[in-house]
Amino acid sequence: MPVNSVADRQIRRESCKFGVVCSECAESITGRRGVAQRSSWFCRLGLQAALLLASACALAAPVLDLSPGQSRATLGSVTTYAVDASGQADAAQMFGRADDAAFKPVPADNATFGFVDGAYWFHARVANAGSADMRWLLVLEYALLDQVDLYLRHADGRIEHFQSGDYHPFSQRAVSYRHPNFWLQMPPGQPLDLLLRVQSQSSMQVPLALYTPTAFIELARDAQLGMGIYYGILLALLFYNLILFVSLRDRSHFLYSLHVLGFGLVLFCLNGFAFEYFWPNSTWLANAAVPMSMALAMLAMHLFARDFLELPRRLPWGNRVLLGMIAFHALMLAASPWLDYRVAVLIGTGMVFPGVGAVIAVAIVVARRGFRPALLFLLAWAMLLAGTLVYALVSFGMLGKSFATEYGMQIGSAAEMIFLSFALAYRWAALRSENERIAREANEQLEQRVEARTSELSTALQQLSEAHVRLREHSARDGLTGVFNRRHFDQHFAPLLAQCRADARPFSLLIADLDHFKRVNDEHGHLTGDDCLRCIATSLQQCAGEHALVARFGGEEFVVLMPGTDELGARRSAEMLRQRVAAHRFALEGGRQLHLTVSIGVASAGSEAQIAAETLLRRADDALYEAKRGGRNRVVQGPVAA
């Protein structure tokens, strides 16, 4: 039958002009029966396969013509499918059903069915519209498919069988590529029937695409570059924040690194890289790693959000919500290897929405309460959500495919990670300046307190010193008269005399004793006697001058030290005192008056005199004794030491 190639990817219906089975086709088919049967399983098909092939000519089937100038094509528009719920059907049966037009077109040219049981069979017919042999690569652009069986029925009835999917070691793939793929060798002008059996615990997504070797190299190069940039950003952020964690000892950087690692691992699994690079021979891990990495990513995301937003301190109820999520995902991480793959993936996927919702909700509340780093945190999440939205819009055909839209999720998540890293740095800077402010305020308060304490202390010290001075003064004074006491006199007499000698100045000493004072006490009482003593002390100070030292020597006896005063000056002062006392009338009760006299002995030393203090004192005492003996109320000058 002639093949009319109109344009690239033009679909036409190939039908036999005789309507059912033409003898020409039947001959051509049966004549080549059993030429190349790769699988021993197929040896049993025998004649049945040839008969099925014959009927293919009779029935109408969409064909995708591949012209020489074409480099890539998608098969969605010519793909039909049938569900084999038991998974027991064989290729012969399904070729038969396809030829009987019992297969249905895939919905919206998109072979996506979600999580389903049993096996799905897909049929497509392609034809080489050129004049030379063509070699195309069939790629199933979804990485997580478990078992993929491809049956190729050539125009000559030959049937080949190939296998792929992550139930088979990665090395079995036609091309070492993250998506299952098969080589198609197509002679010119002949149709080729593709029958695919797919069974998978993952989502049933079978987008079929064809690439010439050159186109595939270009695709792989561009995709690898894009992915390399993306994972490069993630790796750089991961190590950068790990280094920050080690140097700063800030737990948030570690949790952020865990978040990046978990998220990156999920995408690495979903993109098929984990199977390709990490565990190419472990068909178990190829599946189990998906729910495990999802649980790890969610766990790390909640741990990081809880720590970054300081929920225990800022939002206790939000903290409890996230702790619940953390416990749940930790449990899922531990249980995933033993759970049914589909159950684990469905739970993990289902928890993404409440998990992300909870994180965004608490971040909004914390931001509204004035925690500024939460705004950057929210912005980062907005990036991821925007990327996811773009990805969804592309999936639903509402946005055209471009690099930016097709890799929206990757761009959004990379932007999220970068913004989160900024947010961490911002938070760190905010924390540091907050700490500095607290430290500065604490220092200021401390300084103020120290200043206040210092001032209190210096006031206390001053008061203490004043008290000490007062105490010393007090201890030097006579309690009754207020003049210096005997101890003070004893301490200062010799030093004052020595100082005068050193300065070559004269020195005089008076001893004054009230006459018949006993009588005063006896007649007028001790209180009157005390008043008299106080009065005499005051007069002594007035008469002796400001440089003199007046002290009570004992009883009714007073001494006056007069540094710098010679015998004339001393005698004048003594006389003045004597006269003042003699002239004074002490007023008594009842209008009576008391008359007192005083006897004074004077001793002096010249400016050059070498006389001991005791000698001078004795001379003054002798002079006083003489004054008493001479009749009292008089001044007697003792011998002057020259």
Ligand X SMILES: Nc1nc2c(ncn2[C@@H]2O[C@H](COP(=O)(O)OP(=O)(O)OP(=O)(O)O)[C@@H](O)[C@H]2O)c(=O)[nH]1
Sites of contact with ligand X (CB under 6 A) = 480, 513-518, 521, 526, 529-530, 533, 555-556, 628, 632
**C-beta closer to ligand X: residue 525 or 639:** 525
Dig out the tokens for 43 from the structure. Answer: 């040896």
**C-beta closer to ligand X: residue 158 or 578:** 578
Q: Rounded CA gap, 479 and 531, in Å?
A: 13
**C-beta closer to ligand X: residue 213 or 555:** 555
Query: How near is the Cβ of 546 to ligand X at its closest, in Å?
Result: 26
**C-beta closer to ligand X: residue 107 or 631:** 631
DSSP 356-416: HHHHHHHHHHHHHTT-THHHHHHHHHHHHHHHHHHHHHHHTTSS---HHHHTHHHHHHHHH
The per-residue b/e assignment along 222-234, b for 16 or more CB within 10 angstroms, e otherwise, is: ebeeebeebbebb
Q: Rounded CA gap, 240 and 260, in Å?
A: 11
**C-beta closer to ligand X: residue 556 or 621:** 556
Query: How near is the Cβ of 576 to ligand X at its closest, in Å?
Result: 21
**C-beta closer to ligand X: residue 274 or 627:** 627
Q: To the nearest 10°, the Cα dihedral for 393, 397, 402, 407? A: 40
**C-beta closer to ligand X: residue 168 or 628:** 628
**C-beta closer to ligand X: residue 180 or 529:** 529
Helix (H) or strand (E) holding 63: strand 61-66
Q: What are phi and psi of 60, to 5 degrees?
A: -75, 135
Query: How near is the Cβ of 532 to ligand X at its closest, in Å?
Result: 7
Q: What angle do CA 333, 338, 342 make, to 5 degrees?
A: 85
What three-state secondary structure class fits 231? helix
- Report yes or no: 55 and 47 within 8 Å, Cβ to Cβ: no
Q: Rounded CA gap, 541 and 533, in Å?
A: 13
**C-beta closer to ligand X: residue 126 or 511:** 511
What three-state secondary structure class fits 122? strand
Task: Please list, in sequence order, all residues whose beta carbon lies within 8 angstroms of the beta carbon of residue 218, skipping any fewer than 6 positions away.
Answer: none
564 burial via Cβ count (<10 Å: 0-12, 13-18, 19+): middle
Which whole-number Å values give the CA distances from 270 to 142, 178, 379, in the listed order? Answer: 8, 10, 25
Query: How near is the Cβ of 595 to ligand X at its closest, in Å?
Result: 14
**C-beta closer to ligand X: residue 547 or 629:** 629
Q: Rounded CA gap, 623 and 617, in Å?
A: 10
Query: How near is the Cβ of 581 to ligand X at its closest, in Å?
Result: 13
Q: What are phi and psi of 251, to 5 degrees?
A: -60, -30
Q: Within 10 A of 37 (CB to CB), how many other CB atoms are there?
A: 19
Query: How near is the Cβ of 619 to ligand X at its closest, in Å?
Result: 19
**C-beta closer to ligand X: residue 600 or 641:** 600
**C-beta closer to ligand X: residue 12 or 632:** 632
Q: What are phi and psi of 545, to 5 degrees?
A: 95, 165
Query: How near is the Cβ of 457 to ligand X at its closest, in Å?
Result: 42
Query: How near is the Cβ of 544 to ligand X at its closest, in Å?
Result: 20
Query: How near is the Cβ of 552 to ligand X at its closest, in Å?
Result: 8
**C-beta closer to ligand X: residue 489 or 517:** 517
Q: Rounded CA gap, 112 and 200, in Å?
A: 12
Query: How near is the Cβ of 551 to ligand X at its closest, in Å?
Result: 14
Dig out the tokens for 210 from the structure. Answer: 């064809």
- Report yes or no: 605 and 616 within 8 Å, Cβ to Cβ: yes
State the residue number with the nearest CB to ligand X: 529
Query: How near is the Cβ of 517 to ligand X at its closest, in Å?
Result: 4
Q: Rounded CA gap, 172 and 150, in Å?
A: 13
**C-beta closer to ligand X: residue 31 or 630:** 630
- Report yes or no: 321 and 358 within 8 Å, Cβ to Cβ: yes
**C-beta closer to ligand X: residue 342 or 486:** 486
Query: How near is the Cβ of 492 to ligand X at its closest, in Å?
Result: 22
Query: How near is the Cβ of 475 to ligand X at its closest, in Å?
Result: 18
Residue of 179, 104, 109 whose CA lies nearest to 148: 179
Query: How near is the Cβ of 506 to ligand X at its closest, in Å?
Result: 29
Relative to beta strand 11-14, strand 61-66 is antiparallel
Query: How near is the Cβ of 450 to ligand X at its closest, in Å?
Result: 52
Residue of 295, 263, 311, 244 whose CA lies nearest to 417: 263
- Report yes or no: 299 and 326 within 8 Å, Cβ to Cβ: yes
- Report yes or no: 266 and 286 within 8 Å, Cβ to Cβ: no
